[in-house]
Structure 1
Amino acid sequence: MKLTGKWKYRENYGYGVAEGEVVLQQEKNKLSGRIIFTDKTEGDGTSMIQEFLSGEIEGLKVRIQAREFDVIYSEHKIEYKLDNWFGILVDKVTIKGISMDEQGIEGYFVFEKCEEEPSEITEIAKKVS
């Protein structure tokens, strides 16, 4: 299974919801890429985060770790911790699983593969970079 491409991302982690997109590159079983998302936290407002990723796929198991991040925008001061995603490829276009950040906060995520034009989030990130 080739994971290279763009994926829509949605995660619910109890304190809020994150939505955005993931761009992955796959070479053999190794993954790299980035994720850009808006993070809507209860009581704290909205932030836009970009994380740079590495990972691997083994059979149907997908493991992705954030290596570094940028806060693109935030309505408030935040202390951001890197994320890790552990998922299962449930079909050719869907990865579902759990996430955990370095603070130990867990969430449930879905990546859905897409073949669309770049989203507004991607366009904003390109202008900021």
Structure 2
Amino acid sequence: MDNLSGKWLYEEDYSYGKAKGELFLKQIGKRLIGKIIFLENIDSSDSIMVQEFLEGEINGSHIILQATEYDIIHSDQTVSYELDCWKGILLNEYTIEGESLDSQGTYGSFVFQKIK
């Protein structure tokens, strides 16, 4: 099994905007832990920078990452943020693609690209 530990570039499109950032993962057996830091550009307002702490697992080529807590790093307004969950498929050792869902029911499609 490939080791997913390392730094990944993150891009996502969802119903009301785009997100772009970096994912830092550590793999211990099937368990994944890490954090994701990204800039979210929301159509209706200014962008916000968010950091989410993650836990998850890899099972075959299926990957699930669930945010357990978050920090708003930058925002020009008060933000109430919903934790994200990413479910993806490991296409090869450098690419994970899938869908995300937050607790408000907002879907997105994402790609993680491992930095070699």
Band of TM-score, shorter chain:
over 0.9
Give the SS at the match of 2:105. Answer: coil
Deviation (angstroms), 1:76 = 2.2
Name 1:110's counterpart in structure 2.
Answer: 111
Give the SS at the match of 1:45. Answer: coil
Moved over 3 A (4+): none
Give the SS at the match of 2:67. Answer: strand
Deviation (angstroms), 1:75 = 2.2
What percentage of residue pairs aligned between the two structures are identical?
46
Task: State the AA in 2 paired with 1:50.
Answer: Q
Give the TM-score, by structure 2 length.
0.97
Gap runs ≥5 in structure 1: 116-129
Q: Which has the higher helix share?
A: 1
**Kept after mapping to 2: 8 A contact 1:44/1:76:** no
Task: State the AA in 2 paired with 1:101.
Answer: D
Give the TM-score, by structure 1 length.
0.88
Alpha-carbon RMSD: 0.6
Name 2:17's counterpart in structure 1.
Answer: 16
Task: Output the CA distance in 2 between the equivalents of 1:98 and 1:44.
Answer: 23
Name 2:87's counterpart in structure 1.
Answer: 86
Task: State the AA in 2 paired with 1:28.
Answer: G
Task: Output the CA distance in 2 between the equivalents of 1:37 and 1:25.
Answer: 18
Task: State the AA in 1 paired with 2:87.
Answer: F
**Kept after mapping to 2: 8 A contact 1:85/1:98:** yes
The superposition leaves residues 65-94 of structure 1 with CA deviations (integer Å, 9 ceiling, x where unpaired) of 000000000122211000000000001100
Pairs aligned (count): 115
Name 2:4's counterpart in structure 1.
Answer: 3
Task: Output the CA distance in 1 between the equivalents of 2:45 and 2:115.
Answer: 30
Task: Output the CA distance in 1 between the equivalents of 2:114 and 2:15.
Answer: 24
